[in-house]
A and B are shown apart, each in its own frame.
Chain A
């Protein structure tokens, strides 16, 4: 550091300019990638959404189904987040305390969904959950009366499919927070007379909360954007916001309305993303 700043101080302004230009050049691929593939399409959506002044926004906000769809999106995403966090916490804790070989296996298992296409996962769940599918067949085989029980084409199935998809997003942040916690703290608590559950409750859990919060926000943000899972696993009543954008663009072919709705979604999710950026990250608490 010291050597570099001396060198920089010794450089002529011209050289300094050139090295800065060089650094900016390194950013070019990123700028092209983001500019062409992200910012330009978003600019196009912004333009389309305002193509009739505020009329498209007014139209979308007056749609009777909008609030129902927003409610669906919030409730489904929140439930998914809650279920995923509980499962992920237990899994991350097991990962943390596992022996190295088992840890590799467990880590592989949690990453597996990342390498599987979302359609494959959804159709697999549909095959498992349908009325004459594996799960109900097994239950009937065990002598249970499944009666009119339906596992597919309802909210339950949507949440199952979504939890499966988002689980890695929940496990990894929690796991990273947990491994930063010094296990000696548990020993210390026990030496002061705390039982093991009490040590976990009073020491581990508070120290891992930032990871849980980060995981929760990340999972919630990812959940709000689901599109295909409500179609394949849900009923029409489980329509989410992305499906409503699709409905505007494809079915009633109102591009302005679709763009305005997309802008509202971007605005809503941006608030969550900003909150996510402000969550204290792992390593700030409990680590050495």
Chain B
């Protein structure tokens, strides 16, 4: 789970339990769980799962009669474990862009059944050979509006890095493959939005050192920065639009700017050993083709569905805050899944080494 947009840290433990459970089923203890027609869909968990259920699953079950059980803690590790069990415990596993690329390379997923998932409303760049990038997120800088008045709000990562202007600590995501701490560091150091990749990792580390190791609190889950901002522990943090806007709706005084943010997305793929591939593909198709359900998803989560027709059903005020808003063209970077997939392991190790030094 570690480089996913995850909620509570309890999930770390649950995911240990999931690994253990999968290991047991690999020994033959857990068979019979899959293959009975119900689709097991490993997703984020937490309130995100509630939103998926409300937006998609209730109507999907009514329309098709196919039951879906939604789980937490999807990760590349979970996808990899499915490949060692037949039938797989989880039919659908949600993966970040880089994780999806690695999963395809390691042959963990079934090729996309284009008969069941025509994906006619999905722009070509979101269609993969083994999955669909079904949702897009925006990585953003956020701040505590009680500590930083609107007229003094940071406008760029260089501002975010400016400890003279904003004394105190900043919270950044330790999951650099999902959150974009290295990209933010390079932007703060003056790299242009369209010149980020291939990442100059050493320059990013130098930029982080300029901010100061003592000035950074590293968060491991994606609800942490919201908690840290509302508790006043930090005044500045990196986060995601889908975390900040719901927090604002429930009254938190948090500001954010979509500019200089990063667009990334998650894939849905079907495990290679799924006993339920047909129904699993039907569910994936529903997630990207039912306009009303997708629009409801956008409203609930403020993430973008790749269903282009659903965007037309969304109020313009909301559409402007979405990762796909035309107003953001040229003002955000697109997370390069291919670079991350190739360099994931090496960069994670380098980063760990840098953190420990």
Contact = CB atoms under 8 A, between A and B. Distances in A.
Contact of A252 (B12, B27, B349): B349
B250 interface: no
B2 A41 contact: no
Interface stretch (A79-87, A89-97, A229-237): A229-237
Contacts of A232: 9
Nearest to A237: B356
Interface stretch (A15-23, A63-71, A101-109, A218-226): A63-71
Contact of B9 (A231, A236, A246, A251): A231
Contacts, number: 78
Interface in A235-285: 235-237, 239, 246-247, 249-255
Interface stretch (B75-83, B86-94, B124-132, B265-273): B75-83
B218 A236 contact: yes
A153 B218 CA distance: 9
A250 B356 contact: no
Nearest to A122: B9
Interface in A48-74: 63-65, 68-69
Nearest to A153: B217
A254 B353 CA distance: 17
B352 interface: yes
A132 B24 contact: no
A41 B356 contact: no
Given A232-B9, A236-B356, A251 B218 contact: no
Given A232-B9, A250-B1, A65 B356 contact: yes
Contacts of A247: 2, 348, 352
B75 to A, nearest CB: 6
Given A236-B356, A250-B77, A41 B231 contact: no
Contacts of A44: 23, 26-27
Interface residues of B, number: 41
A156 B68 CA distance: 46
B10 interface: yes
A262 to B, nearest CB: 12
Contact of B76 (A130, A132, A253): A253
Contacts of A246: 2, 12, 16
A123 B320 CA distance: 37
Given A249-B19, A252-B344, A253-B77, A132 B231 contact: yes
A141 B244 CA distance: 33
Contact of A69 (B1, B231, B356): B356
Contact of B218 (A41, A69, A235, A252): A235
A237 B216 CA distance: 12
A68 B20 CA distance: 28
The B interface is mostly helix, strand or loop, or mixed, namely: helix
Contacts of B169: 131
A41 B20 contact: yes
Interface of B: 1-3, 9-10, 12-13, 15-16, 19-20, 23-24, 26-27, 29, 75-77, 80, 102, 168-169, 174-175, 177, 214, 217-218, 220, 231-233, 344-345, 348-349, 352-353, 355-356
Interface residues of A, number: 31
Contact of B2 (A132, A228, A251, A255): A251
A162 B287 CA distance: 45
The 7 closest A-B pairs by CB, nearest first: A236-B355, A250-B2, A251-B2, A252-B345, A253-B76, A68-B356, A253-B77
23 contacts: A40-B27, A41-B20, A44-B23, A44-B26, A44-B27, A65-B356, A131-B169, A132-B232, A153-B217, A228-B12, A231-B12, A236-B218, A237-B355, A239-B356, A246-B12, A247-B2, A249-B19, A250-B1, A250-B2, A251-B175, A251-B177, A252-B345, A253-B77
Nearest to B15: A250
A98 interface: no
A124 interface: no
A153 B224 CA distance: 14
B356 A130 contact: no
A268 B303 CA distance: 47
A239 B16 CA distance: 18
A138 interface: no
A119 interface: yes
Contacts of B3: 251
A226 B123 CA distance: 47
A64 B15 CA distance: 27
Interface string A163-185: 00000000000000000000000
Contacts of A153: 217
A41 B15 CA distance: 16
Contacts of A239: 352, 355-356
B345 to A, nearest CB: 5
